[in-house]
Structure 1
Amino acid sequence: MMEEGEKQSSGGRWRCRWLVDVGRWRPSPAEFQAAAAVLPPHDRPAIHRFVREEDRKRALVSRLLQYSLVHHALGMPFHQIRINRTLEGKPYLQNKNVNLPGFNFNTSHQGEYVGIASEPLCLVGLDIVCISKPQRETALEFINNFTSYLTDHEWNCIVTADSHDGMLTEFYRYWCLKEAFVKATGAGVGFGLQRLEFHHINWTNISLCIDGEEARKWMFWLFKIDEMHLASIAKGHPEDAIDSFRRTLSDVVIQEGELHTAIEIPEEAFTLLTVEHLIQLHD
């Protein structure tokens, strides 16, 4: 699932899949401040608004990943990189690049991992979930809280799993895929997840129907990071980006053939990096 260090993918340096295990990063206060100092000054206060140390770590690593990826992909010094967010919370690069008109990226964090994915042409969405067992209710009671976000087909697939653990895993797979899609489009939490219905063959050949109609310009992949964490990648056509996000992309027309090829490129293993790797990229 994961490979140590950096590697080049078939999409070149612009197409990245990076993960950091924040659970293994236990910085001293001085080490934390040193890592935060790598970021531009205007991006540091957002990290310190979190009360819990684990949340501050995730926020810091998420931003380090964004700046490190843009630096790696486009060769920009950290102080020149301008990352902003749409009203819906979708991060985007303000710096325009005519050579990569569709360059976009997406971050996710849950449990022990923070990740980022980027694409030079097609939309990309990343979601990470931690398959945590509910403490005060059964698996079925827990999943029942989310019935309004699931279709009848998905619900039936979940509840017919062979165990409570199986039901939880099935639920999180569907949830992970739905989140990856809405994050790719920039829609965020405002999108009705019950409009999305996923189909699959043993969790390969995953397809999506939106309001009952097959989304032919999208492809999806699921990955097992470890026994407790899953990740999903969604790739699709820029025309499906919501307005606020589409306005952040270049107006340059991309050939349909190029887009189709970019969407269908098979997914490779994530690259597992450390915070030290990210700081070295800055150097």
Structure 2
Amino acid sequence: MMVEEEEEKQRSSVGRWRWLVDVARWRPSPAEFRAAAALLPPHDRPAIDRFVKEDDRKRALVSRLLQYSLVHHALGIPPHRIRINRTLEGKPYLENKIVAFPSFNFNTSHQGEYVGIASEPLCLVGLDIVSVSKPPGETVLEFIKNFTSYLTDHEWNCIVSSGSHDEMLTEFYRYWCLKEAFVKAIGAGVGFGLQRLEFHHKNWTNISLCIDGEEAKKWRFWLCKIDEMHLASIAKGHPDDAIESLKRTFSDVVIQEEELHTSLEIPEEAFTLWTVEQLIQIVQD
């Protein structure tokens, strides 16, 4: 029995990755930037060109390099054969059908100095990265009050009673990060009512979610501190909770509940840090 459980755990781990890139460390010349962008399929390039600021263009490019390099690394699909598209709501998905991983999915996020990606072979996965900062000219309370309609009374009370203004700001971003990760995992768009989501925790461990007052028992959450200014969260859950446009991207293969449960319960590990040069090398292979 122990051997069978270990084999099931190993199957659930294949295709499961957490990668992170510090884009501030990449300072390409215009020619190097164009060469990196040229590695992407033509339909992906307008999403980079639409940005005016250099930092935004870098994050958009690295986000797509992460997607192609991870799929190639995780599934062995030659880069030129990888077909990545997006749902109407904006979640990227793999058009290539992988029989062994019928609900393989991934999610990217970028803010501040970091771009990240998370993938899962069976569970839905959502990733969100936040930079703990506020716009100049506003106090912390003024800034947080802009988001009160997205928070429950319980969450708001936890934020304002958390301590100093810096602690309140960090507490707000923890809740915000988790809400965004869940919405991204199910493939929902900006219209999803974040106030329907209420998070509970014990010192930001054993994090649980209630949706419209009901506990979401088939979901697991993880929150980590990347550095002094950045947080990341992972949401993992049941594929049945995906919105319809995302469900249609999955193969019609039945997933065993025991295997899905094993996948949900795998402990989270730290992100693997990559450089842009390493991603370029993977995509060029």
Overall identity of the aligned pairs, in %: 83
Give the distance between the partners of 1:70 and 1:57, measured in 2 at CA: 20
In structure 2, stretches of 5+ residues that fail to align are 1-8
Q: How does 1:72-151 map to 2 (within 5 A)?
A: 72-151=73-152
SS of aligned partner of 1:189? coil
SS of aligned partner of 2:126? strand
Structure 1 position 47 matched with structure 2 position 48 = yes
Q: CA deviation at 1:15?
A: 0.6
Q: CA deviation at 1:211?
A: 0.3
Change (3 A) 1:49 1:154: same
Give the distance between the partners of 2:21 and 2:30, measured in 1 at CA: 19
State whether residues 219 and 234 of structure 1, in contact with CA within 8 Å, keep that contact through their aligned partners in structure 2. Answer: yes
Q: TM-score, normalised by structure 2?
A: 0.94
In structure 1, stretches of 5+ residues that fail to align are 1-8
Structure 1 position 254 matched with structure 2 position 258 = no
State whether residues 158 and 171 of structure 1, in contact with CA within 8 Å, keep that contact through their aligned partners in structure 2. Answer: yes
Give the distance between the partners of 2:46 and 2:160, measured in 1 at CA: 44
Q: CA deviation at 1:148?
A: 0.2
Give the distance between the partners of 2:188 and 2:44, measured in 1 at CA: 23
Change (3 A) 1:41 1:134: closer
Report what 2:3 is aligned to. none
Give the distance between the partners of 1:266 and 1:224, measured in 2 at CA: 16
Number of residues of Structure 1 aligned to a counterpart in Structure 2: 275
Report what 1:19 is aligned to. 20
Give the distance between the partners of 2:55 and 2:271, measured in 1 at CA: 23
Give the distance between the partners of 2:114 and 2:184, measured in 1 at CA: 17
Q: CA deviation at 1:214?
A: 0.2
Give the distance between the partners of 1:49 and 1:167, measured in 2 at CA: 35
State whether residues 39 and 78 of structure 1, in contact with CA within 8 Å, keep that contact through their aligned partners in structure 2. Answer: no
Give the distance between the partners of 1:219 and 1:40, measured in 2 at CA: 34
Q: CA deviation at 1:45?
A: 2.4
SS of aligned partner of 1:190? coil
State whether residues 134 and 140 of structure 2, in contact with CA within 8 Å, keep that contact through their aligned partners in structure 1. Answer: yes
State whether residues 14 and 121 of structure 2, in contact with CA within 8 Å, keep that contact through their aligned partners in structure 1. Answer: no
State whether residues 134 and 143 of structure 2, in contact with CA within 8 Å, keep that contact through their aligned partners in structure 1. Answer: no
Q: CA deviation at 1:67?
A: 0.5
- Stretch deviating more after TM superposition (45-54 or 118-127): 45-54
- Stretch deviating more after TM superposition (125-134 or 222-231): 125-134
Q: CA deviation at 1:162?
A: 1.0
Instruction: Tell me which stretches of 4 or more aligned residues in structure 1 moved more than 6 Å.
Output: none
Structure 1 position 152 matched with structure 2 position 150 = no
